[in-house]
């Protein structure tokens, strides 16, 4: 996978660009854990992105080849049977307003076809990327596409932007709202518009991210306290609520990514449970 820095004109809305070769998985479905981030991804081969409503869904829903994935506060199930080249961008808070003219809350817990946001330009972009001769060229094309999309709108309220650090430090939402200079209601609305999630929910996902980052190498009691949970029981409850699995089950799954868990037994197991 090629990871590329962001052009200066896009640094307010994109943290990084990437392009990857087709990399087959050894399983059919992945349980993707919430990351607190949004991304744009374009598959260049196969039938496109297919998601499942739950473990009992045998057919899934085909979204598109090019999708914008909103911030999520829970896991989702994705088809990974088809190996495909792909190109994408990791989006920063406020990016959807700058690039697509909509708040991040309109995309929360959803994958939306890029064509729903930019029309026929999505297909032209996909075709140009598929014809590109190198990952570097693919990223250059995607950067050029997004540069043309940037809208002359105001960026984040600086105090709302500062709230990201405050939440990571455990500050109360009421305190951050007061510091923002906005009413509490306005602060929440601006935060949701930028990230897709309310501040408390966003903080829960970020706390999970800290646990995932350290949970593979330490005992769970230490992980809980370091990540900001009150105790291990608190970690266990939150982990299951956000990921649909337990910390122990997550640690036992040997996959390259801490956010993609093997899930190809879900339908079979769900059918067995119904009998």
- Positive or negative, the CA dihedral 188, 193, 194, 196 is positive
Q: Please tell me the pTM assigned to this model.
A: 0.88
For the chain, how many residues are written? 275
At 78, list the tokens. Answer: 């994705």
Place of tokens 């829903």: 61
Q: Are 83 and 72 in contact (CB under 8 A)?
A: no
User: pLDDT by residue for the chain (275 residues), tens digit each?
Assistant: 888 889 889 999 999 999 999 887 778 899 999 999 999 999 999 999 999 998 889 999 999 999 999 999 999 999 998 889 999 999 999 999 999 999 999 999 999 999 999 999 999 999 999 999 899 999 999 999 999 999 887 767 788 888 988 888 888 899 999 988 889 999 999 999 999 999 999 999 999 999 998 877 788 999 999 999 999 999 999 999 999 989 988 888 755 566 778 876 544 444 443 34
DSSP 8-state symbol, 101: S
Structural domains in the chain, CATH included, are 2-149 (2.60.120), 158-262 (1.10.10.60)
């Amino acid at each position: 996978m090629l990871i590329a820095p962001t052009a200066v004109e896009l640094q307010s809305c994109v943290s990084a660009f990437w392009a990857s070769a087709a990399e087959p998985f050894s399983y059919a479905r992945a349980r993707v854990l919430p990351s607190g981030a949004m991304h744009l991804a374009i598959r260049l081969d196969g039938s496109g992105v297919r998601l499942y409503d739950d473990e009992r869904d045998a057919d899934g829903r085909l979204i598109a080849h090019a999708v914008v994935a909103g911030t999520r506060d829970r896991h989702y199930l994705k088809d990974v049977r088809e190996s495909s080249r792909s190109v994408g961008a990791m989006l920063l808070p406020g990016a959807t307003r700058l690039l697509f003219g909509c708040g991040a809350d309109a995309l929360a817990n959803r994958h939306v076809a890029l064509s729903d946001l930019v029309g026929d330009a999505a297909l032209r972009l996909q075709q140009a990327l598929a014809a590109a001769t190198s990952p570097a060229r693919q990223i250059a094309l995607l950067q050029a596409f997004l540069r043309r999309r940037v809208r002359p709108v105001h960026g984040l309220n600086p105090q709302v932007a500062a709230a990201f650090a405050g939440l990571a430090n455990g500050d109360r939402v009421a305190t951050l709202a007061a510091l923002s200079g906005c009413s509490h209601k306005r602060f929440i609305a601006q935060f949701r518009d930028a990230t897709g999630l309310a501040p408390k929910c966003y903080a829960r996902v970020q706390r999970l991210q800290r646990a995932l980052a350290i949970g593979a190498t330490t005992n769970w009691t230490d992980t809980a306290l370091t990540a900001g949970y009150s105790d291990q029981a608190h970690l266990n409850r939150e982990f299951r609520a956000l990921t649909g699995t337990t910390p122990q089950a997550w640690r036992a799954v040997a996959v390259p990514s801490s956010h993609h868990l093997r899930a190809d037994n879900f339908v079979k197991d769900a059918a067995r449970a119904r009998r």
